[in-house]
């Protein structure tokens, strides 16, 4: 078979072949205007007059147009149509890259916008149309099959800029391009999708245009087989598969010639010197229109004659036949003159142009056949394709003998079937493999230096054997279909359809014959009409090429049919409602001991995080949108952060206070510090979420599940579910990693605070909550690992269950026990006395709550106490008080406090506290309260300096747990009438302790039980001590007075000052005290015995840890 084989060995041959090859028999398109519109009459229903010419009536589809008409003819009922026909009658074809933008949605549908994105990954297939008509028809049938039946965008590649042959071309383009473009297939393999090259057939120049194609629908072997198998070995193309048609190429003569002299059909009748004159006289040379007017016509065609009606135009000079204008003409030239040149005269044979495979030269040379081509191409002297077609038409019109190279199946061969000019094959020596191996290459026909190069070996001068026409598919199409990770439910059917496609030479001949017989728009709409009509008549044949489980149609998943999504939505709703209810209950009990001890402000942040996670679980269970996908990532990310970070900050503060108490350090943490820490960690997640949303926004993506179900039209149903996902999974993994880091931090802190007093320690609860979080985090990680084996939309429901279950378990573990605790019992639990010597004290203030940490010296353990401020705390009921407060007797057991120190507030609003607490022990174990022992001692004579126990102008207040606030009034101390009146003046709702005692004998109540010294700054000393300042306590000396109170004197006595003038005290509560200016680096211990003869001792520790007793 001939082909366009453009090799760089000869620029001249390339230019000549290209210029001649691209000529085709052209006819003007059907003209029309506003007053004359023959479009539907001459072409088909639906053709429009546009820009002066009739448009392609099949622009919106071949089968869809024809079947839509049948649907209307059946009174709009499709019951009589086959299933495939019913579907095609309702749909338009899919658009391709050759369609103008304004055509989308009108004459075609965008495949990326249809059926829930099911066809999004259908890469556009580009077919190399070759440059002969039978290849055009095979290309068109494939284009219709892919574009209309299988919904795969398909275009045709001519290999030349500004040349097109797209079946759906509105202008009915019918241009001849190049053939066997291996480079175009290599380009397609490298790029995958040819649309990436942005070629524009209407605007690109030859230099800009890059041919690209995936499929050659009709390939002739012959001499091209060497190139084919070479490309196959290099992985450029798959192994060829048969098209189903048998191709024949060789010398043909007109039937009327063979009838006159049958010997011309056999080698014996044309070979040898004895047949030279016969051939020279039988086969005259064709004459172009220009040659006829210049060389033959007596009037140079100035007047019409029986051959030419007029002189040709410049474009018509080389035409061989123009119906109605030039019939064609054959004449004997000097080359036919056997009288003058008896040994060299020859008859005429029409040969192919350069670049096409032909063996006429070797055959006539080695078999001594006196025939020679007389075209204008150098070397082979071939003719262009259009000239060959017109030449045969001229021979038929003038009944002139003609021998030509041709092939079948082909349009012209089919045109003359059954006529007197029907082509008859000339029989030459039978082909053998040896002959095939010794044939010349096509490039040697037009470029050679010696006759040996021109004609080759004699062994290669045999006839051409019939051959099976083949399909060539680039390897890139297979890779793009099966090796690119595309969901199997979305894989394109193009590769399998092309491989299955078959077309016999008889079927091709039928189409060709219908084309020729129509004769309305020969090189425009007529070939399209012939192809489309043949397809409609053979629709069941076309179904044989549809791959198994195709075509496919998408059905959106109905979550109402999935029990999992019912459960996910129900559990997410339950988690949300639980969070709201727990938040309301927590708010209502915000002033109770349980919530205050738990730091209610942090609880609200934790509940906010749980609410975010719960709402995120609901959004995850319902069909997503692009907006909800972003919202889910924010809700879950911020939710877990707000759930864990406040808890970590609170526990870290407790741990810091405990550590500071052990080191005799004072630490003051303000509300701004704690919430600032929470905000800082939360801002890390916010920045992460902003980057995630900006760089790789989570979007709704479809998941496609192929089922065995089919529609009534025979389409296989693909269930389409949706889920949220970014292009990279790294974002999800980072979010889970952040969650794990927070859990690890919480685990470490929970372990460090495990030894706190049971009433205050949350290590057990934290451990349970962290454990449950880790379980659910592991489930999330497992869900990531299961991706690909379980449906993504189904996995979204499972993750929704994980999030909502996590939130519910967290509330059950952390909040429900707090809500079930009784404030009175919890108060009693947290106020159980503990013995030992306290060495250090730290305080953290958060809003209306105060967290106090003190180290227990006797046992080496520590305990934490959370104390509400005076104006916010409600008095717990029944804690050692009686109905008659005035007559009540002090019960030391009822007023013992575990941390034995007061919390006082400075005028700036910061919280400060320090304590020099004294524990009671006997023989290494605690003996409970010693208040009775202290009070049972005989009172000594009151001294003036009793209230300045330390002798450093600082008041010493009694009680192992001095009141958390001191009753202050505007009255002068001299006006105080007694402890009972002062007590009755106090707000009992603000005083959770027993009746006070005037331990210091200064007409002011001393609150609390066992003796502890609280050093309170004077107003003028307050400015010397900033929050967080640490300083060494002053060493002191002690003397025991008769009333049982240890008087401690400073090593550097100071002059006494007026402390806390009443006029400067607030009217109620204590809000202007601060810590003392120095830390006492010693401790006092009062050793008491359970017996009435208890002995009071005091131990001092100096800076060198040397112990002195008095």
Domain with 360 in it: what CATH number? 3.40.190.100
pTM (two decimals): 0.65
Q: How far is CA 569 from CA 143, 560, 636, 719, 804, in A?
A: 47, 11, 16, 21, 9
Same domain, 90 and 166: yes
* b (16+ CB within 10 A) / e for 770-806: bebbeebbebbeeeeeeeeeebbbbbbbbbbbbbbbb
Which position has the higher pLDDT, 423 or 914? 423
Q: Write out pLDDT tens, residues 844-856.
A: 444 444 444 444 4
- The one-character DSSP state at 538 is T
* CA-wise closest residue to 846 among 586, 653, 658, 1068: 653
Q: Which of 515, 550, 585 is the last residue of a domain?
A: 550
Length of the chain equals 1110
Instruction: Share the mean pLDDT of the chain.
Output: 73
Q: Are strands 347-348 and 371-372 parallel, antiparallel or unpaired?
A: parallel
pLDDT at 775: 85
pLDDT at 223: 64
**What is the C-alpha to C-alpha distance for residues 643 and 649, in angstroms, rounded to an integer?**
11
* CA-wise closest residue to 904 among 870, 947, 863, 876: 870
Query: Where do we find the tokens 């004579």?
Result: 941
- The answer to whether 211 and 201 have CB atoms below 8 angstroms apart is no
- Residue 896: pLDDT over 70: no
Please give the average per-residue pLDDT across 277-281, as a whole number.
96
- The answer to whether 893 and 821 have CB atoms below 8 angstroms apart is no
Q: Write out pLDDT tens, residues 51-64.
A: 899 999 999 999 98
CATH assignment of the domain containing 570: 1.20.1070.10
Token couple for 159: 């290999």
Token couple for 978: 């007694």
Which of 13-27, 70-84, 1091-1105 has the weakest average pLDDT? 1091-1105
pLDDT at 271: 95
Please give the average per-residue pLDDT across 403-410, as a whole number.
92
**What is the C-alpha to C-alpha distance for residues 873 and 679, in angstroms, rounded to an integer?**
28
**What is the C-alpha to C-alpha distance for residues 1069 and 1077, in angstroms, rounded to an integer?**
22
- The one-character DSSP state at 330 is E
Distance of CA 231 to the CA centre of its chain: 37
- Residue 914: pLDDT over 50: no
Same domain, 715 and 816: yes
Same domain, 650 and 505: no
- Reported as type and span, the H/E element at residue 282 is helix 276-282
**What is the C-alpha to C-alpha distance for residues 16 and 6, in angstroms, rounded to an integer?**
11
- The answer to whether 727 and 693 have CB atoms below 8 angstroms apart is no
> 558 in a domain, yes or no?
no
Residue 950's contacts (CB-CB under 8 Å, 6 or more residues apart) are: 956, 1013, 1015, 1034, 1036, 1048, 1049, 1050
**What is the C-alpha to C-alpha distance for residues 702 and 699, in angstroms, rounded to an integer?**
10
pLDDT at 146: 94
3-class SS of residue 326 = strand
Please give the average per-residue pLDDT across 315-344, as a whole number.
94
> 653 in a domain, yes or no?
yes
Same domain, 127 and 66: yes
pLDDT at 115: 64
Please give the average per-residue pLDDT across 644-652, as a whole number.
80
Q: Write out pLDDT tens, residues 198-230.
A: 666 555 566 678 899 999 999 987 667 778 888
Token couple for 37: 């519109």
Which residues are 472's β-sheet partners? 216
Confidence of residue 255 (pLDDT cuts 50, 70, 90): very high
Coarse DSSP helix, strand, coil percentages of the chain, rounded to the nearest 5 percent: 40, 15, 45
> 313 in a domain, yes or no?
no
pLDDT at 81: 60
Same domain, 231 and 253: no
Helix/strand/coil (H/E/C) assignment for every residue in 332-355: CCHHHCCCCCCCCCCEECECCCCC
Q: Which of 493, 522, 550 is the last residue of a domain?
A: 550
Q: Are strands 925-926 and 49-50 parallel, antiparallel or unpaired?
A: unpaired
Which residues are 54's β-sheet partners? 49
Token couple for 100: 């103008």
3-class SS of residue 308 = strand
**What is the C-alpha to C-alpha distance for residues 370 and 367, in angstroms, rounded to an integer?**
9
Same domain, 949 and 1008: yes
Same domain, 442 and 518: no
Sheet containing strand 668-669, edge to edge, reads 668-669, 838-846, 849-856, 862-867
> 852 in a domain, yes or no?
no
Helix segments in 589-625, DSSP class H: 593-597, 600-621
| Number of domains forming the structure of the chain | 4
Please give the average per-residue pLDDT across 410-415, as a whole number.
86
pLDDT at 29: 77
Query: Where do we find the tokens 């991706």?
Result: 787
Which position has the higher pLDDT, 110 or 472? 472
Q: Write out pLDDT tens, residues 1040-1099.
A: 444 433 333 333 344 443 333 443 434 333 333 333 333 333 333 333 333 333 333 333
Helix segments in 812-874, DSSP class H: 816-820, 823-830
- Residue 916: pLDDT over 60: no
* CA-wise closest residue to 899 among 947, 863, 861: 863
> 414 in a domain, yes or no?
yes
Q: Write out pLDDT tens, residues 773-825.
A: 888 888 888 888 887 777 777 888 888 898 899 889 988 888 888 888 877 77
pLDDT at 369: 96
- The one-character DSSP state at 11 is H
Q: How far is CA 1016 from CA 304, 735, 736, in A?
A: 134, 50, 50
Token couple for 390: 């017109």
How many Cα atoms occupy the beta-carbon half-sphere of 626 within 13 Å?
A: 4
User: Which residues span the domain enclosing 339?
Assistant: 248-284+332-467
How many Cα atoms occupy the beta-carbon half-sphere of 344 within 13 Å?
A: 5
Confidence of residue 100 (pLDDT cuts 50, 70, 90): confident
Same domain, 541 and 575: no
Token couple for 686: 């916010």
- Reported as type and span, the H/E element at residue 267 is helix 267-270
pLDDT at 756: 59
**What is the C-alpha to C-alpha distance for residues 870 and 374, in angstroms, rounded to an integer?**
120
Same domain, 403 and 529: no
- The answer to whether 508 and 409 have CB atoms below 8 angstroms apart is yes
pLDDT at 401: 97
> 999 in a domain, yes or no?
yes
**What is the C-alpha to C-alpha distance for residues 359 and 380, in angstroms, rounded to an integer?**
10
pLDDT at 953: 53
Q: Which of 446, 467, 488 is the last residue of a domain?
A: 467
Question: Cα dihedral angle (661, 667, 670, 675), rounded to 10 degrees?
Answer: -70
Same domain, 1009 and 904: yes
> 22 in a domain, yes or no?
no
pLDDT at 284: 97
> 920 in a domain, yes or no?
yes
- The one-character DSSP state at 94 is B
**What is the C-alpha to C-alpha distance for residues 1104 and 165, in angstroms, rounded to an integer?**
104
Please give the average per-residue pLDDT across 728-757, as a whole number.
79
Same domain, 427 and 505: no
Identify how many contiguous H helices and E strands the chain contains and give both numbers: 33, 30
Same domain, 263 and 200: no
**What is the C-alpha to C-alpha distance for residues 211 and 204, in angstroms, rounded to an integer?**
11
Residue 66's contacts (CB-CB under 8 Å, 6 or more residues apart) are: 532, 533, 536
pLDDT at 727: 87
- Residue 234: pLDDT over 80: yes
- The answer to whether 7 and 443 have CB atoms below 8 angstroms apart is yes
* DSSP labels, 667-725: -EE-HHHHHHHHHHHHHHHHHHHHHHHHHS--EEEEEEEEEEEE-TTSPEEEEEEEEEE
Q: Write out pLDDT tens, residues 297-307.
A: 999 999 999 99
**What is the C-alpha to C-alpha distance for residues 1019 and 1021, in angstroms, rounded to an integer?**
6
Q: Are strands 699-710 and 716-725 parallel, antiparallel or unpaired?
A: antiparallel
């Amino acid at each position: 078979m001939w082909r366009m084989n453009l090799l760089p060995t000869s620029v001249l041959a390339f230019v000549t072949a290209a210029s001649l090859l691209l000529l085709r028999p052209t006819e003007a398109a059907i003209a029309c205007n506003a007053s004359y519109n023959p479009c539907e009459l001459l072409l088909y229903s639906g053709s429009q007059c546009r820009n002066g010419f009739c448009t392609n009536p099949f622009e919106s589809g071949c089968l869809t147009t024809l079947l839509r008409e049948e649907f209307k003819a059946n009174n709009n009922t499709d019951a009589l149509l086959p299933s495939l026909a019913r579907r095609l009658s309702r749909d338009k074809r899919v658009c391709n890259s050759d369609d103008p933008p304004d055509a989308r949605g009108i004459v075609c549908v965008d495949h990326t916008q249809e059926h829930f994105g099911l066809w999004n990954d259908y890469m556009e297939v580009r077919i190399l149309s070759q440059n002969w008509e039978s290849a055009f028809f095979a290309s068109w049938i494939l284009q219709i099959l892919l574009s209309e039946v299988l919904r795969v965008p398909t275009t045709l590649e001519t290999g030349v800029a500004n040349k097109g042959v797209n079946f759906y071309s509105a202008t009915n383009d019918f241009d001849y391009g190049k053939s066997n473009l291996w480079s175009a297939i290599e380009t397609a393999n490298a790029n995958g999708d040819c649309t990436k090259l942005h070629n524009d057939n209407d605007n690109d120049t030859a230099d800009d245009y890059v041919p690209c194609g995936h499929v050659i629908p009709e390939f002739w072997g012959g001499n091209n087989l060497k190139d084919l198998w070479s490309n196959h070995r290099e992985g450029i193309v798959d192994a060829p598969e048969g098209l189903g048609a048998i191709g024949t190429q060789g010398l043909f003569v007109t039937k009327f010639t063979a009838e006159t002299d049958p010997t011309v059909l056999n080698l014996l009748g044309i070979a040898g010197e004895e047949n030279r004159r016969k051939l020279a006289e039988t086969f005259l040379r064709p004459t172009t229109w220009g040659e006829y007017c210049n060389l033959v016509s007596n009037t140079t065609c100035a007047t019409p004659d029986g051959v030419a009606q007029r002189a040709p135009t410049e474009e018509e000079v080389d035409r061989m036949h123009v119906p109605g204008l030039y019939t064609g003409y054959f004449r004997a030239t000097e080359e036919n003159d056997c009288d003058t040149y008896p040994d060299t005269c020859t008859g005429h044979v029409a040969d192919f142009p350069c670049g096409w495979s032909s063996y006429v030269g070797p055959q006539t040379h080695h078999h001594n056949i006196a025939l020679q081509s007389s075209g204008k191409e150098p070397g082979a002297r071939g003719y262009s394709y259009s000239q060959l077609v017109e030449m045969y038409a001229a021979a038929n019109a003038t009944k002139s003998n003609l021998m030509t190279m041709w092939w079948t199946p082909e349009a012209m061969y089919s045109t003359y079937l059954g006529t007197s000019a029907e082509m008859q094959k000339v029989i030459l020596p039978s082909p053998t493999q040896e002959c095939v191996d010794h044939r010349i290459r096509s490039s040697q026909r037009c470029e050679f230096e010696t006759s040996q190069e021109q004609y080759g070996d004699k062994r290669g001068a045999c006839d051409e054997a019939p051959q099976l026409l083949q399909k060539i598919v680039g390897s890139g199409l297979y890779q793009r279909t099966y090796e690119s990770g595309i969901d199997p439910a979305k894989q394109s059917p193009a590769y399998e359809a092309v491989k299955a496609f078959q077309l016999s030479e008889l079927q091709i001949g039928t189409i060709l014959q219908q084309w020729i017989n129509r004769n309305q728009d020969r090189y425009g709409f007529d070939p399209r009409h012939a192809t489309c009509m043949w397809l409609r008549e053979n629709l069941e044949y076309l179904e044989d090429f549809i791959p198994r489980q195709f075509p496919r149609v998408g059905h959106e998943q109905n979550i109402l049919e999935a029990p999992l999504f019912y459960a996910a939505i129900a559990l997410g709703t339950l988690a949300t409602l639980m969070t709201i209810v727990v938040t309301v209950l927590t708010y209502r009990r915000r002033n109770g001991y349980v919530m205050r001890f738990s730091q209610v402000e942090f609880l609200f942040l934790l509940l906010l995080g749980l609410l975010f996670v719960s709402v995120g679980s609901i959004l995850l269970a319902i069909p997503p949108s692009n907006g909800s996908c972003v919202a889910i990532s924010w809700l879950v990310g911020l939710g877990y952060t707000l759930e864990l970070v406040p808890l970590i900050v609170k526990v870290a503060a407790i741990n810091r206070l405990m550590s500071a108490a052990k080191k005799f350090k004072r630490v003051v943490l303000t509300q701004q510090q704690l919430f600032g820490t929470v905000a800082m960690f939360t801002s890390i997640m916010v920045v992460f979420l902003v980057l995630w949303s900006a760089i790789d926004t989570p979007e709704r993506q479809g998941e496609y599940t192929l089922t065995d179900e089919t529609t009534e039209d025979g389409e296989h149903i693909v269930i389409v579910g949706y889920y949220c996902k970014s292009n990279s999974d790294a974002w999800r993994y980072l979010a889970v990693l952040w969650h794990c880091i927070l859990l690890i931090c919480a685990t470490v802190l929970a372990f460090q605070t495990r030894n706190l007093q049971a009433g205050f320690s949350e290590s057990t609860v934290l451990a349970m909550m962290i454990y449950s979080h880790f379980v659910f985090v592991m489930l999330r990680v497992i869900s990531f690992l299961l991706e690909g084996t379980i449906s993504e939309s189904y996995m979204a429901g499972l993750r929704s269950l994980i999030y909502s279950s996590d939130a519910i378990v967290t509330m059950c573990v952390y909040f429900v026990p707090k809500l079930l605790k009784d404030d009175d019992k919890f108060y009693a639990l947290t106020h159980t006395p503990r013995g030992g010597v306290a060495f250090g004290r730290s305080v953290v203030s958060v809003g209306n709550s105060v967290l106090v940490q003190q180290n227990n010296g006797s046992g080496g353990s520590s305990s934490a106490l959370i104390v509400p401020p005076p104006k916010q705390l409600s008095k717990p009921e029944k804690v050692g008080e009686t109905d008659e407060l005035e007559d009540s007797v002090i019960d030391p057991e009822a007023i013992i406090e575990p941390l034995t120190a007061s919390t006082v507030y400075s005028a700036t609003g910061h919280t400060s506290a320090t304590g020099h607490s004294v524990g009671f022990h006997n023989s290494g174990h605690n003996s409970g309260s010693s208040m009775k022992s202290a009070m049972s001692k005989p009172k000594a004579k009151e001294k003036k300096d009793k209230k300045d126990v330390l002798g450093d102008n600082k008041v010493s207040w009694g009680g192992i747990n001095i009141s958390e606030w001191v009753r202050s009034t505007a009255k002068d101390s001299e006006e105080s009438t007694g402890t009972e009146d002062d007590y009755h003046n106090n707000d009992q709702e603000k005083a959770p302790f027993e009746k006070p005692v005037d331990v210091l004998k200064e007409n002011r109540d001393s609150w609390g039980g066992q003796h502890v010294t609280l050093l309170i700054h004077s107003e003028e000393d307050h400015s010397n001590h900033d929050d967080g300042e640490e300083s060494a306590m002053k060493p002191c000396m002690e003397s025991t007075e008769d009333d049982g109170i240890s008087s401690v004197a400073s090593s550097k006595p100071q002059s006494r000052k007026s402390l806390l003038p009443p006029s400067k005290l607030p009217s109620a509560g204590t809000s202007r005290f601060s810590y003392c200016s120095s830390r006492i680096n010693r401790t006092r211990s009062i050793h008491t015995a359970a017996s009435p003869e208890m002995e009071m001792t005091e131990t001092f520790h100096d800076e060198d840890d040397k112990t002195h007793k008095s």
